[in-house]
Structure 1
Amino acid sequence: MPFIDVRDIRMYYEIHGTGPRLLFFNGTGGDLRCKPTIFESPLAADFEILAHDQRGLGQTDRPDISYTMADYAMDAKALLEAVGWNKCNVLGISFGGMVAQEFALRYPHSIKRLVLACTSSGGAGGNSYPLQEFGSLSPRERAVCILPLRDKRRDAVWQALNPQQYQEMLDQMVTNLLVGANEHNRKVGARRQLEARLEHNTFDRLPNLQMPVFICGGRYDGITRTTNLEAIHKQIPHSHLELFNGGHHFYSQDPRAFERIDSFLHGAPVINVKDV
């Protein structure tokens, strides 16, 4: 398994595929042992993808110290240097999109094209749902709370009308939440990551971004509101925004999403649309 010493931590990472280089930032609680990963996505056929378990998460070290968004960005920069990547495309999903914003602001010359998916800027641009509220709950209790937030259509009425599908989705979420649950400092790392997430605020700095930026999300997302995406779009010159038919995991619900992301990362021209 590929581990590497990066700054003050030992980091787990994977590189797969061929094509243009793509650095991927995963979301809150992201663990490359949880399936499906970015390597099972349609992008895997067209890109050489570098993904890692971020500080406090997955198989990467979980020190019991304060983490900052700058730490996450500097970790990624050090990883790029360690694997010999000078410049690449970047895709950040949810919390990963927050890290990607910080990374882009600190290291703009390392990025060719940037995709920010279902994420928020903080500050005047708004915050994503405060997931730290669920920190004391059991995995199943957390899943019950988070599932209808991931897709606002999955409310109590939908759950009652679709009991089997609801149970399958709930079980899958619990399975992922339990990966590595008994490992040393697992809860510490998760808490520290959420604390860093609370401090995220790039809003006033976003106009400094000059690389091509594609902003995308799901119109039924209850974790990241569409107004948050629109705020980012208004702040970044020459950025593009699209909403898709899904929730927080819109990219796995609407096949057009990965098609549009793939096209953008390959340099295809895009137009500003707020619905597709």
Structure 2
Amino acid sequence: MTISLPTLMLLPGLNCDAAVWAPQVAALKSQAHCVVPAWGLRDSLTAMAEQALAEAPTERFALAGHSMGGRVALEVMRLAPRRVTHLALLDTGTHPLAAGEAGEKEKAGRLALLKIAREQGMRAMAREWTKGMVHPQRIGSPLFEEVLDMFERGSAAQYAAQINALLNRLDATPLLAKIQCPTLVLTGREDAWSGPAQHEAMAAAIAGAKLVIVEHSGHMTTMERPQAVNQAFAAWISRT
């Protein structure tokens, strides 16, 4: 008798592809059938969430999102919470674009990187962007080059579409109190984009959530410290 594995949807972040989840797909192959969507030119979090729901091969599934993918995961929870059996939010956030000067600063920073991507190419952009994405000790390392390779596989048009999705994000904070499935909230200790304090607040707002802070890791936890993430996932996916 063949017993089919449960589905695990793994949602990548801004300009990331399946490589960001490769260590988890390999580690969890005996526990789950993993599906990693490719966002292409979709330019809203809602469109991405609808894609994830459409691509899920089973009615119910476990759901994990990294960075922007975490925001997409929360949008899935808004649209179809009953379809999700387990939720993992990694290196992400719930806040909307800030009002005033702070929001304008974020927008200007993202558009400046997009300008580099359009004029000098994706790898030149990624070389600047990734310096803030990994633990400082990993800058220039083979892992750093892997991240650059991943970002280079994307296009400036794709990058622009996904930046638009992030700049138009809504406040997902009210959703947290409504989440009832087993939830993992995880980030890197040195994540400069979405660090421990932000994730502590998210975990506190979700009933029964498990908080994991991965030591010696920046924003790219799934690639920087795959064993730590894999251990957290194995425990999370087995919760009932």
Q: Tell me the TM-score normalised to structure 1 length.
A: 0.71
- 1: distance between equivalents of 2:71 and 2:179? 14
1:142 alignment counterpart: 125
Give the residue type in structure 2 aligned to 1:68: S
**Residue 37 of structure 1 aligns with which residue?**
22
2:62: which partner in 1? Answer: 89
| Shift in Å, 1:38 | 5.5
Alpha-carbon shift at residue 97 of structure 1 (Å): 0.8
Confirm whether residue 72 of structure 1 aligns to residue 48 of structure 2: yes
Whole-angstrom distance in 1 between the partners of 2:20 and 2:229: 19
The answer to whether the 8 Å contact 1:233/1:241 transfers is: yes
Contact 2:130 2:148 (C-alpha < 8 Å) held by counterparts: no
> In structure 1, what is the equivalent of residue 80 of structure 2?
107
The Cα of 1:121 is off from its aligned counterpart by 0.7
Taking the aligned partners of 1:261 and 1:193, their CA distance within structure 2 comes to 26
CA contact (8 A) 1:152 1:247 kept: yes
* In 2, Cα distance between equivalents of 1:142 and 1:174: 9
**CA distance in 2: counterparts of 1:95 and 1:223, whole angstroms:** 11
Q: 1:207 to 1:175 in 2, by over 3 A?
A: same
- Alignment: residue pair count: 223
CA contact under 8 A between 2:16 and 2:151: conserved in structure 1? no
The Cα shift of 1:112 comes to 0.6
Question: Larger relative contact order (C-alpha < 8 A, sep ≥ 6)?
Answer: 2
Larger proportion of helix: 2
CA contact (8 A) 1:55 1:72 kept: no
> Conserved in 2, the CA contact under 8 Å of 1:24 and 1:50?
yes
Which AA in structure 2 matches 1:193? Q
The answer for the alignment partner of 1:215 in structure 2 is 185
Quote how far apart the aligned CAs of 1:171 are. Answer: 3.7
Please report how far the alpha carbon of residue 172 of structure 1 lies from its aligned counterpart in structure 2 after TM superposition. Answer: 3.1
**248 and 35 in structure 1: CA distance in 2 versus 1, 3 angstrom threshold:** closer
Contact 1:215 1:229 in 2 (8 A): yes
- Cα deviation for residue 43 of structure 1 reads 2.0
Partner of 1:117: 90
CA RMSD of aligned residues (A): 2.8
- Name stretches of at least 5 consecutive residues in structure 1 with no aligned partner: 1-17, 57-61, 160-165, 269-276
Structure whose CA Rg is larger: 1
Pair 202,114 (structure 1): closer, same or farther in 2 beyond 3 Å: same
CA deviations 1:74-128 (Å, max 9, x no partner) are 1222223xx3x1101111111111100110122111011101111111239999x
